[in-house]
């Protein structure tokens, strides 16, 4: 009988690890992002279409209510052209209650200084400049009649990890409901392209249609810091 109650006690106390599925849902304002076919408006009321959108996130911290973070150190390349890249699965998720998430957009100095790498950081992904300048953190490309560049193109290729042109930005989001480490959880994060063009500084395509080095890069980085928000959480 004693052994039976001991086994029952262990079963009741043991808590299995869970997991968190994260979906990045791309929008322009209230409209889902679509390449080429849909015209949007920027903060200067200039029409534009999008042809490319991808970015790095990494150093993910899941924030427990007790203040102890669970850290995932991998880097992920989120690419609108590859639907599976917009779905992340974080596991194991230790037992406990989770109230928020923190991550960086960009690639930290250590990985920038380690040369060409594999996986999400493989140069084949088209997000690596050279060994001495490192990774492109975000690419946004498209067309606008307001752009004075050939073909009315605009392109913002943002990177840089050294001051005063450090474009790494830390994102902190509070969940709209507490998630449990013993469950399979689902988190939808809205990523709003419109914020890249207006969040703190309105981007005028006629004045700034291309950023491909440190000039104006931090201005765009300060904008993209505001492009993330929580759409929904569920267990």
Quick: pLDDT tens for 72-83: 999 999 999 999
The residues, any chain, with a CB within 8 Å of residue 178's CB and separated by 6 or more, are 65, 97, 98, 99
Distance, in Å, from the CA atom of 5 to the CA atom of 140, rounded to the nearest integer, reads: 61
Q: Write down how long the chain is.
A: 235
What average pLDDT score do residues 108-124 get? 86
What average pLDDT score do residues 92-121 get? 90
Using pLDDT thresholds of 50, 70 and 90, give the confidence band for residue 2.
Answer: very low
Q: For the chain, what percent of residues have pLDDT higher than 90?
A: 74
Cβ neighbour number for residue 191 with a 10 Å cutoff: 23
Supply the pLDDT for residue 168.
97
Supply the pLDDT for residue 6.
43
More confident residue, 3 or 51: 51
Three-class DSSP labels, 71-92: EEEEEEEEECCCHHHHEEEEEE
Most confident of the following: 2-11, 139-148, 212-221:
139-148
pLDDT over threshold 50, residue 10: no
Using DSSP's 3-state secondary structure scheme, residue 196 falls into: helix
Supply the pLDDT for residue 177.
87
- Residue pair 173/228 in contact by the 8 Å Cβ criterion: yes
pLDDT over threshold 90, residue 55: yes
């Amino acid at each position: 009988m004693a052994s039976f109650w001991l086994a029952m006690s262990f079963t009741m106390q043991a808590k299995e690890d869970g997991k968190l599925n994260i979906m990045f849902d791309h929008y322009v304002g209230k409209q889902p992002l679509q390449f080429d076919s849909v015209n949007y408006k920027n903060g200067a009321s200039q029409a534009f279409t999008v042809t490319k959108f991808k970015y790095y996130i990494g150093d993910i911290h899941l924030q427990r209510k007790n203040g102890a973070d669970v850290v995932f150190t991998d880097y992920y390349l989120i690419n609108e052209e590859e639907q599976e890249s917009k779905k992340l699965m974080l596991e194991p998720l230790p037992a406990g209650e989770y109230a928020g998430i923190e991550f960086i957009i960009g690639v930290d100095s250590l990985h920038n200084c380690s040369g060409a790498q594999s996986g999400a950081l493989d140069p084949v992904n088209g997000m690596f400049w050279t060994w001495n300048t490192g990774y492109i953190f975000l690419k946004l490309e498209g067309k606008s009649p307001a752009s004075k560049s050939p073909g009315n193109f605009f392109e913002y290729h943002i990177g840089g990890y050294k001051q005063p042109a450090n474009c790494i930005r830390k994102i902190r989001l509070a969940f709209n409901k507490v998630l449990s480490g013993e469950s399979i959880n689902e988190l939808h994060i809205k990523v709003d392209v419109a914020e890249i063009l207006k969040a703190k500084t309105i981007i005028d395509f006629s004045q700034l249609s291309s950023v491909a080095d440190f000039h104006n890069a931090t201005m765009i980085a300060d904008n993209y810091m505001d492009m993330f928000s929580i759409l929904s959480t569920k267990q």
